[in-house]
């Protein structure tokens, strides 16, 4: 490889007639600009002024590209709505927002609003953003190998990394675009954005260097765990510690695109009738459970026959185990704690005529439960409240409780690839404490001989098996019944589900 590395120098604005100030060194890879709250420097002593020399004619000022306190992530450039350049800018903005702590769905919603994105544009931006989340560690490492320092502009980092993800697809996956198209559109994207235009030459140089030296660069990058696995080091270490024999397969499963699995609403149609309806629509599917179908080719939900009429819902095969485990009977009082977005609530009501209460702490997420039940033609009592409190409870005990408690969501990272970059190692301990409080509180709301199903979408034993064992130790009247336990992310003939944990408890009659 050559020693020449394209670098980015962002020049500060120069005042007319005065020399430009030297650029400040960035404090960190994604450092934010310093605020005005810092103490002002002392005024310098100046020598006595000399008679001014005759002024030379001023040349036209060059555009200033100083780093601004607020980067224009929401700036909508004048680009065709269906262009790859616009999709790359939108995905770059989403990546920058995730790095700043925003969950990817919200980041994408922000982009769609700011860009006034068309349905086609939304699909392209979302696809590239999710690809980028799955390949971010490798792209970040490659960028580090080709630059002496990372660019200070988050949007610029995101744009280059999105382009690298397209130029370097995962093994066995065909590139979505020709290399020259990716480079051309990335440079076009940079040139049309006010915070990036100064760096279009750098974008071009970095991407072309990658194409020239791809084999060497990739070989060097994959020596780093971040690039090899596309997870933070603490996540890799935690997976190794929990699953010494399966950790590699688990990490690889989290980087794959998840299948589109459907749950048929047997109140409205039979599995066989719906399979025929799919066939008539030209969609092939496999039956993988009592009411579960897996499409052989993923498609937009708007193209799924009967989705808007409530004939089917999108739900992972592993998640479809929850409602049947409760052993529901008509007339039961059932509580779905931490219910959003409502997939399990809907399944409960599809299986039996029960009196359902769905609780969630987030009113906006609870609205999704309402929307899902409305689409299915079902209803329940929705309560915006925290499950570790009792001020919302009417005092009447429940026959069944589903406790899908907050967790790190490490088992559903293939569906939410931003989770790996948003979570921190300390989150596990904090969430375990919260879920313990929720379980202890809900247990008081369960009648004698009632059942509580404890569910997490986590892979970490602290949040799952260890939590279940600790709960049983705290409650002498808790009898643990047969349940799947830890489901590892898996795929294969008939198997393709997320990483979930199930523990079922019955309350012993005194």
In CATH, the number for domain 232-257+318-510 is 3.40.50.150
In CATH, the number for domain 84-229 is 1.10.940.10
Q: Is the pLDDT of residue 502 over 60?
A: yes
Q: What is the pLDDT of residue 74?
A: 66
Out of 162, 338, 407, 457, the active site residue is 457
Tokens standing for 182? Answer: 């990716």
- Is residue 162 part of the annotated active site? The answer reads no
Q: What is the pLDDT of residue 150?
A: 74
Question: Model confidence at 151, in pLDDT bands (50, 70, 90)?
Answer: confident
Q: What is the percent of the chain with per-residue pLDDT over 90, rounded to a whole number? A: 79
Tokens standing for 181? Answer: 């198209």
Dist CA 144 CA 204 (whole Å) = 16
pTM for this predicted structure = 0.83
Q: Please state the rounded mean pLDDT for residues 13-33.
A: 37
- Sketch the domain layout of the chain as residue ranges: 84-229, 232-257+318-510, 259-315
> Quick one: fold of 259-315?
Alpha-Beta Plaits (3.30.70)
Q: What is the pLDDT of residue 78?
A: 86
Q: Where are the alpha helices (DSSP H) in 100-213?
A: 104-115, 119-134, 136-146, 154-167, 179-191, 200-212
Q: What is the pLDDT of residue 49?
A: 45
CB neighbour class for 46 (10 Å; exposed up to 12, middle 13-18, buried from 19): exposed
Per-residue pLDDT of 259-276, as tens digits, reads 999 999 999 999 999 999
Per-residue pLDDT of 31-43, as tens digits, reads 333 333 344 444 4
Lowest mean pLDDT among 43-52, 245-254, 344-353, 401-410: 43-52
Pairing mode, if any, of strands 446-456 and 398-404? parallel
């Amino acid at each position: 490889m050559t020693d020449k590395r394209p670098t980015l120098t962002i020049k500060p604005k120069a005042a007319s007639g005065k020399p430009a100030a030297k650029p400040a060194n960035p404090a960190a890879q994604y450092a934010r600009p310093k605020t005005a709250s810092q103490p002002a420097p002392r005024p310098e002593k100046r020598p006595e002024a000399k008679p001014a020399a005759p002024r030379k004619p001023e040349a036209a000022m060059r555009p200033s590209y100083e780093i601004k306190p607020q980067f224009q992530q929401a700036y909508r450039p004048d680009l065709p709505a269906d262009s790859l350049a616009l999709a790359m800018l939108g995905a770059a903005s989403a990546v920058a927002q995730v790095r700043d702590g925003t969950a990817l769905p919200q980041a994408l919603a922000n982009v769609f609003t700011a860009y006034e994105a068309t349905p086609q544009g939304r699909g392209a931006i979302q696809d590239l953003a999710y690809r980028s989340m799955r390949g971010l560690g490798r792209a970040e490492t490659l960028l580090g190998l080709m630059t002496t320092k990372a660019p200070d502009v988050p949007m610029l980092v995101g744009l280059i990394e999105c382009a690298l993800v397209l130029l370097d697809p995962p093994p066995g996956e065909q590139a979505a675009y020709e290399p020259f198209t990716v480079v051309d559109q990335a440079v076009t994207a940079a040139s049309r954005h006010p915070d990036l235009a100064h760096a279009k030459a750098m974008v071009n140089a970095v991407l072309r260097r990658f194409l020239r030296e791809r084999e060497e660069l990739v070989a060097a990058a994959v020596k780093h765990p971040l690039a090899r696995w596309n997870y933070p080091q603490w996540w890799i270490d935690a997976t190794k510690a929990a699953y010494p024999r399966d950790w590699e397969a688990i990490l690889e499963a989290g980087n794959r695109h998840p299948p589109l699995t459907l749950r048929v609403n047997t109140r409205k149609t039979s599995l066989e009738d719906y399979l025929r309806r799919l066939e008539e629509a030209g969609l092939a599917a496999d039956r993988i459970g009592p009411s579960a179908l897996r499409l052989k080719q993923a498609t937009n939900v708007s193209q799924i026959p009967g989705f808007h009429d409530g004939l089917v819902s999108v739900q992972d095969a592993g998640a479809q185990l929850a409602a049947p485990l409760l052993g529901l009977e008509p007339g039961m009082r059932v509580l779905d704690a931490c219910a959003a977005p409502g997939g399990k609530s809907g399944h409960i009501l599809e299986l039996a005529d029960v009196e359902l209460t769905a609780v969630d702490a987030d009113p906006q997420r609870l609205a999704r439960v309402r929307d899902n039940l409305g689409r299915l033609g079902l209803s329940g009592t929705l309560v915006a409240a925290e499950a570790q409190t009792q001020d919302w409870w009417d005092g009447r005990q429940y026959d069944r409780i589903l406790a899908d408690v907050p967790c790190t969501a490490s088992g559903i990272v293939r569906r939410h690839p931003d989770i790996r970059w948003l979570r921190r190692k300390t989150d596990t301990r904090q969430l375990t404490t919260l879920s313990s409080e929720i379980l202890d509180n809900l247990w008081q709301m369960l009648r004698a001989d009632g059942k509580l199903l404890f569910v997490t979408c986590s892979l970490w034993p602290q949040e799952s098996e260890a939590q279940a064992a600790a709960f049983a130790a705290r409650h002498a009247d808790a009898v643990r019944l047969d349940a799947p336990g830890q489901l590892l992310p898996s795929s294969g003939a008939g198997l393709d589900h997320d990483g979930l944990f199930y523990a079922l408890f019955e309350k012993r009659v005194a």
